[in-house]
Structure 1
């Protein structure tokens, strides 16, 4: 029996150019209950929550889904150490609860268990503090629904265990292992959120800039063409750009910096290395294994002084040197600047608490019909979205009172036993879940020789996931663009796929 052309298969929440045009027409003609500004994890999560409660919704993003904070693949659905160590038990419990929802319901295909190692060669006091924080995190995890069996507990390993998990660490001493949940790709989670919202009727518009709000009228510029639409409430979830609609809202942005190095230089680790940033007791550098033979070295919580810049500068030599020095302190063979094959930086919106930026707390504030949300983290996006939509429902006087999203799988999501039977390469199942066979049928040619991404993934990004530019395809629908030389080789292929439409 002949197989159907994948482009003819209807997919839940399909985002393509034709759907974008229809969504714009309907938004212009009918307006919506809720217009969400910002296409990151928070904005897409709010759009899904509101649409799932029966409200009419539009999601407007000036560039592309996950183009800001949520584009970076190093954020974790993990418990972490900072909150338990700082005594932030409530934040730790919320993270544990939301991690369990992500792993079991929302997106099991996108989240996997990952051990984090703090080696004794970083200092016995450092690993002892990590063990304390890990055990406090374990206590928070077992206290929430679904948390008890979601991850193993914190424990010590000997020198042999350190060598097995992270071969590049200086041998001879043990360490502490705690567990978290690593997202396969943050941007894939955001795209799945937006598509699921679209499946519930949300209008998803990228390339749409909100220029102002006057009562119930929202100024909108779509591809440079101005228009006006009606909205009962505008939710400002634009990340570090929230002050464009809410100039008086307090914002404490922090800079995150990441380096990309070949996994072979660290002995192809199977755990994330966690070491303190020199001079800090609560900020760590994490070397996070990635699919495709890469490792990302990342650090966050670096305060940004002054106004938010229009463009985020790439990591400079001093930042690169600082990250490498932190990791090299525990490696047998130090990393060199020449080992860095890619680097990227971004800004995250924090709120001010105790004189410092706090990423774990979100703040909500109304200004007329505009509700601005600042802060919060990707692992807890769902809880933030539920709180925001609770406030919207109270304001509008309609919509379901309780959020259904804790029981709502995203497009592609399924229980592990179902995912195990999906007839497609395992790598695609980890990224696309039950939609992996459609991706595979769109073409298995490699985008770049020596990498794993396929032309089928690019085609799926255009035909079903709203990708409109080369950057959308290479930097967000796939991760080809994070390695500079690979991006250069992939541009022509991405351009040819876009031309097929």
Structure 2
């Protein structure tokens, strides 16, 4: 029976003991490759190197996907707008990666999503846009998503009833892919660990080890214990994203890569505020507006503005939210208001600096350079092409290793939870009957855990109370909070409410009412005292209050100051 098989499907558990073991193993003997950064590219590089048979370590200062990789538009796409820039190579590459993600690497986390492109001119625009979308479909090989189709205005309004009738004369519908970016990045790291990589969060690089001019590893501060360790490595990959320049400073100043941070803000509104079966994409004067279906919500984004303030916690201002509401309302029959917004998040794109003063014109291609011997840096790119960036970074280090290293094989390596996904999905009614959970609940769990769903259901079978939803967050079970700490590397309350789940942007109170329950559930797993659990809840509530305050501020500087009013829970201690 599938349920018995599901219960036996396991993967390496990212729990506190695994983290301690990983840090110890990293110091036991020199690594072949040390990866700095637990975003999608760093996690991808760790998986790439581990599946080539190398001894690999990954260190991340905060949490997996804590930066840019949890704050995207949640899309895997080729970049339709790059066709207009005639960047066919970038689009073709991204569409190939989209197909891999949807069909082979993580079908449990990704799915096709439809979009309307409204037309406002009757003849030439349909031909112009239609030709571009036809090319987009052709370059993508039409693998994993349906082909585009032309719609009259009446047909478009049937697909998107909330659309203003005067906002279009017709439309083109096409498909791209959607992925939960934070869970995907964590699953990448967990898969890397499954193949032998030593991975650890709350592990901040404070300096490099050197032999002459050569980098031979890094000094790493364990932010949980305050202990400083030295990790020796034959080669080091810096995949720190918007922190690339800071890492370069540690090795003697700026090098061949200069990264410029561009802020992208998204807002989240409940699904019932917009009646539609499809997303929508529209041009704005500064960027592209997406209205994206996201389970029981819509994600609306994005902005594209220069950011030179705090990199760890980029703040969305009221002007950012107003910008998104104004442009969305230009398309919608019933305007959205600030009261409709239940979540806001801001992320920083690590763009390669160029001559343009406009961040929307900077390159989304990536670069791999070696500023000093023993250190390779990778930056730029886009979420969809993370695997290519990781491959190029590992390719750049293997020639300096003392033995022949096999080529990249990550295009054939499914992430944990993907193996057996189709069988698990086909057995969802049986799983619902045997677990006593509603079918919709099982489908939600399958799209988050894939064939590892049995590990979550086992918690519910052992403790039936874990089958109840969390307070204020009915989409998520109490068991999911426990599982995040037991198997998914969550060390703090913020990790669970913001990245392992999306409670912080989906719940009307941003997760405040769930905080105490989650802290109580995970305290035994994470070894928290009552005082530590209370401190975690206070930190989270302060963070939510600071974010809400920042979103009332008129500009970036005042928003940044408000957001920094809440301390980071990972403050660390001096070594």
Q: TM-score, normalized by length of structure 1?
A: 0.91
Match of 1:361 among 365, 370, 375: 365
**Would you say the 8 A contact 1:257–1:346 is kept in 2?**
yes
Q: Deviations over 1:1-54 (max 9, x none)?
A: xx99x9x97831211011111111111122311111110100000000000001
Local SS of the residue matching 1:109 = coil
Give the corresponding residue for 1:452.
475
Q: Deviations over 1:207-256 (max 9, x none)?
A: 00011113214111012321212111111101101112113131121111
Give the corresponding residue for 1:322.
323
Corresponding position: 1:427 with 2:431:
no
**Would you say the 8 A contact 1:252–1:351 is kept in 2?**
yes
Give the corresponding residue for 1:134.
133
- Taking structure 1 as reference, are residues 113 and 383 closer, same or farther at Cα in structure 2, changes over 3 Å only? same
Give the corresponding residue for 2:516.
492
- Taking structure 1 as reference, are residues 128 and 168 closer, same or farther at Cα in structure 2, changes over 3 Å only? farther
**Within 5 A, what are the aligned runs for 1:114-129?**
114-120=113-119, 129=128
Corresponding position: 1:253 with 2:295:
no
Q: Distance in 2 between matches of 1:495 and 1:459?
A: 10
Larger radius of gyration: 2
Corresponding position: 1:408 with 2:417:
no
Unaligned runs of 5+ in 1: 143-147
**Would you say the 8 A contact 1:118–1:127 is kept in 2?**
no
Deviation at 1:153, TM superposition (A): 2.0
Deviation at 1:115, TM superposition (A): 0.9
**Would you say the 8 A contact 1:448–1:486 is kept in 2?**
no
**Would you say the 8 A contact 1:155–1:177 is kept in 2?**
yes
Corresponding position: 1:177 with 2:173:
yes
Q: Distance in 2 between matches of 1:119 and 1:471?
A: 38
**Would you say the 8 A contact 1:78–1:179 is kept in 2?**
no
Deviation at 1:275, TM superposition (A): 1.4
- Taking structure 1 as reference, are residues 466 and 164 closer, same or farther at Cα in structure 2, changes over 3 Å only? same
Deviation at 1:455, TM superposition (A): 0.9
Deviation at 1:193, TM superposition (A): 0.4
Local SS of the residue matching 2:348 = strand
Deviation at 1:447, TM superposition (A): 1.0
Deviation at 1:127, TM superposition (A): 6.3
Give the corresponding residue for 2:229.
227
Instruction: Between 329-338 and 116-125, report the one with greater CA deviation.
Output: 116-125
**Would you say the 8 A contact 1:105–1:414 is kept in 2?**
no
Local SS of the residue matching 1:420 = helix
**Within 5 A, what are the aligned runs for 1:205-244?**
205-215=200-210, 216-223=216-223, 224-244=226-246
Local SS of the residue matching 2:79 = coil
**Would you say the 8 A contact 1:469–1:498 is kept in 2?**
no
- Taking structure 1 as reference, are residues 155 and 354 closer, same or farther at Cα in structure 2, changes over 3 Å only? farther
Q: Distance in 2 between matches of 1:404 and 1:373?
A: 19
How many residues are paired up? 485
**Would you say the 8 A contact 1:240–1:308 is kept in 2?**
no
Local SS of the residue matching 1:234 = strand
Deviation at 1:360, TM superposition (A): 2.5
Corresponding position: 1:276 with 2:283:
yes
Deviation at 1:108, TM superposition (A): 0.8
Local SS of the residue matching 2:173 = strand
Instruction: Between 308-317 and 252-261, report the one with greater CA deviation.
Output: 308-317
Corresponding position: 1:41 with 2:43:
no
Q: Deviations over 1:159-198 (max 9, x none)?
A: 3432333221013742111210111x11111111001100
Instruction: Between 241-250 and 189-198, report the one with greater CA deviation.
Output: 241-250
Instruction: Between 386-395 and 244-253, report the one with greater CA deviation.
Output: 244-253
Local SS of the residue matching 1:456 = helix
Deviation at 1:347, TM superposition (A): 0.7
Deviation at 1:124, TM superposition (A): 7.8
**Would you say the 8 A contact 2:35–2:236 is kept in 1?**
yes
Match of 2:304 among 283, 301, 306: 301
- Taking structure 1 as reference, are residues 311 and 62 closer, same or farther at Cα in structure 2, changes over 3 Å only? closer
- Taking structure 1 as reference, are residues 244 and 313 closer, same or farther at Cα in structure 2, changes over 3 Å only? closer
Q: TM-score, normalized by length of structure 2?
A: 0.80
Corresponding position: 1:74 with 2:73:
yes
Instruction: Between 78-87 and 454-463, report the one with greater CA deviation.
Output: 78-87
Unaligned runs of 5+ in 2: 211-215, 433-441, 460-465, 526-575
Local SS of the residue matching 2:116 = strand
Q: Distance in 2 between matches of 1:111 and 1:405?
A: 17
- Taking structure 1 as reference, are residues 284 and 217 closer, same or farther at Cα in structure 2, changes over 3 Å only? closer
Q: What's the Cα RMSD here?
A: 2.3
- Taking structure 1 as reference, are residues 484 and 368 closer, same or farther at Cα in structure 2, changes over 3 Å only? farther
**Would you say the 8 A contact 1:364–1:373 is kept in 2?**
yes
Local SS of the residue matching 2:208 = strand
Deviation at 1:88, TM superposition (A): 0.6
**Would you say the 8 A contact 2:364–2:380 is kept in 1?**
yes
Give the corresponding residue for 2:199.
204
- Taking structure 1 as reference, are residues 430 and 10 closer, same or farther at Cα in structure 2, changes over 3 Å only? closer
Corresponding position: 1:157 with 2:148:
no
Q: Distance in 1 between matches of 2:186 and 2:447?
A: 14
**Would you say the 8 A contact 2:504–2:511 is kept in 1?**
yes
**Would you say the 8 A contact 1:458–1:497 is kept in 2?**
yes
Q: Distance in 1 between matches of 2:374 and 2:8?
A: 40
Give the corresponding residue for 1:89.
88
- Taking structure 1 as reference, are residues 233 and 383 closer, same or farther at Cα in structure 2, changes over 3 Å only? same
- Taking structure 1 as reference, are residues 417 and 226 closer, same or farther at Cα in structure 2, changes over 3 Å only? closer
